[in-house]
Amino acid sequence: MMKWLTCRLVGCLAVIAVVLAAGALLGGRPAAMAQERGSASAESESMDELWGDQGVELTEDNRSEWFRANKYGLFLHWGLFSQAAGKWEDTTYYGITEWLMWRGRIPVADYETLAGQFNPEAFDARAWARFAKQAGFRYIVITAKHHDGFAMFDSVHPFNVVDATPFGRDPMRELADACRDEGLGFGFYYSQYQDWHEINDWDGDLPRRDFAAVFEEKIVPQVEELCTGYGPLSFVWFDTPGAMTREQSMRLVDLVREHQPQALINSRVGNGVGDYSTYGDHEIPPRNVEGVWEAIDTSNNSWGFAWYDDIWKDSETIAHNLISVVARGGNYMLNIGPKPDGTLPADNVAFLEQVGQWLALHGETIYGAGPSPWGQRLPFGEVTTRGQTLYLHVFDWTPGGKLRLYGLDTEVRQAVLRDETQTALAFEQDDAGWLTVTLPMAAQPGLVPVVELTLAGEPEVDSRVVGLDHEHPTTLLSHHAEVAGCRHGKASWMETFGEWKHVITLDGWQDGGTARWPVIPHAAGRWAVEIEYNAFDEADASDFALTVEQHGQTTDTANIHLLATTGPRGHMAPSTHFNTPRYRFMNRRVAVIHLETPGPYTLTLQPRNGVKASGPEIHAIRLVPLD
């Protein structure tokens, strides 16, 4: 999400693509982002209601409440691009499969031949909806029309699934009905600005029309078809607003409001007029984000089905991602690229079903749960909340190990392991601000074990000082630092298969610049210092000092030498979608520091011998306990 960019470019799609690479086709962050933070207020309600199990009905007045109650959505990218699966004639275009038409500069008439082959006879909308329900998803958003302009629904525009394919059915209607029967939310993805079937810069036979005409002739009528023909919708999910005017964005919003007043509209409708914000693809923000927002992600690396992409995220990774997004305050919408025959990839489904089994036991810690009062990941895992309850999700389970949390000011009444034993766990809260929970001497119970803490009141946490655990590595994020003479920045780029990467950084280093983190070790000891950073050749071998101070006195200094990570500042391989700059963040162990007495310290990172080319981009410092 790059809110500082506003796209004013029209016409040339090549230019637009470059701008997309920089993220500008995304909508700006909507005004709704400034809204109040959600909290599960009604403690007295039954658990089912608190879990959002049909407890919150989606109406015009409680869109954000419904959204927050449901947390986990299934995104589906399905269309003619699935038929091609990343390959056109003899060439595989690795990455961002649903952009095949653009990448292959395929003329409209040639691309239309895919419709003649599209016949997903194994498609069973009820089976998809049942799977989604079992996997713990609360809503589905599916591509009704992607950038290739092909309508996966019955439309007056002839380039559609009913009129142009041997399949001849309307899968959107079947899925809408099936979702309603399963009690799942349902919505359409609709690409409102990019429609390469109507406007592109490579097909000489295409009549030259401007967007304003296409908007009136196709976009508005199709959005109306989707809003009037498929029953109540939970979402209309727009994408890549490009050079849409505010009036055009508002036309679409008004249209949705008129027919579907309860439906949520995402920020990519453009011009800051949506209900909630969509983060950059594949991005989980490292620190809590206020307002109503979602992170979107893929199960493998591409959105649309790709014949070569079997790089599935396993169930543990997906569960961790979901938990982390909820702990940051958002919703997680995870994508599957269905196959051209209408089935879902089997490995993909199997991993998601395992997550569903975990959610069947621990849904209470996710659906409608509040964000972590610590504002970022803790060394052992993630925290979510519900009223006076804290859920500690243990990502790193050691039998008999300790979970340490620093800065909780509220009294803990009890700690219980959320498994079938419901074992009460020993815990201790000391005067220095540490809470220590002792795990049982047992093998890891389930996909992600959860410890439930009951507090004497709503959690109050001082999260400014980072507690250094001496059993788990602790991460000091760039954005947690107080800076002078360097900046909080962010690097975003697209990798081989179209997956975006986003990394927050400290960059723009000047001579004498500093980044400072307040930390407090749980016990005296030595920590290995690892730095995750990117340094282009020009900034190679930057020298830094990491100073350890207590009560204004320097107690230790480590000298740090950061070698280039990337080779020459270059571009991605030619097989890649866009020519975005190549970043290569690496985690390197660079020093050892000593923290020998109790109490808080300040760690200061500072360049030593003059900064070259504004220095490296530093994502985080990781302190790994050695004692």
Q: Which residues bind ligand JFZ (CB under 6 A)?
A: 23, 25-26, 96, 98-99, 239-240, 280-281, 296, 303, 500
Provide the 8-state DSSP code for 112.
H
**Do the Cβ atoms of 65 and 319 come closer than 8 Å?**
no
Q: 393, exposed or middle or buried, with CB in 10 Å at 0-12, 13-18, 19+?
A: buried
Between 240 and 566, name the residue whose CB sits nearer to ligand JFZ: 240
Between 299 and 463, name the residue whose CB sits nearer to ligand JFZ: 299
The CB-of-350 to ligand JFZ minimum distance in angstroms stands at: 24
With DSSP H G I counted as helix, E B as strand and the rest as coil, what are the percentages for the chain, rounded to 5?
25, 30, 50
The CB-of-498 to ligand JFZ minimum distance in angstroms stands at: 8
Between 98 and 203, name the residue whose CB sits nearer to ligand JFZ: 98
Dist CA 548 CA 592 (whole Å):
11
The CB-of-191 to ligand JFZ minimum distance in angstroms stands at: 8
The CB-of-419 to ligand JFZ minimum distance in angstroms stands at: 36
The CB-of-3 to ligand JFZ minimum distance in angstroms stands at: 10
Between 296 and 417, name the residue whose CB sits nearer to ligand JFZ: 296
Between 385 and 492, name the residue whose CB sits nearer to ligand JFZ: 492
Dist CA 436 CA 428 (whole Å):
5
The CB-of-99 to ligand JFZ minimum distance in angstroms stands at: 6
Q: How many CA atoms lie within 13 A of 362 on its CB side?
A: 31
Between 98 and 182, name the residue whose CB sits nearer to ligand JFZ: 98
CB count within 10 Å of CB 287 equals 16
Dist CA 311 CA 293 (whole Å):
27
Dist CA 317 CA 568 (whole Å):
32
CB count within 10 Å of CB 261 equals 12
The CB-of-118 to ligand JFZ minimum distance in angstroms stands at: 18
Containing 466, the helix (H) or strand (E) segment is strand 466-468
The CB-of-23 to ligand JFZ minimum distance in angstroms stands at: 3
The CB-of-119 to ligand JFZ minimum distance in angstroms stands at: 23
Q: Which residue is nearest to ligand JFZ (CB)?
A: 23
Q: 340, exposed or middle or buried, with CB in 10 Å at 0-12, 13-18, 19+?
A: buried
User: Three-state DSSP class for 159?
Assistant: coil
Between 96 and 264, name the residue whose CB sits nearer to ligand JFZ: 96
Between 148 and 452, name the residue whose CB sits nearer to ligand JFZ: 148
Interacting residues of 426 by C-beta distance below 8 A, sequence separation 6+: 415, 437, 438
CA–chain centroid gap for 66, Å, is 19
Between 300 and 542, name the residue whose CB sits nearer to ligand JFZ: 300
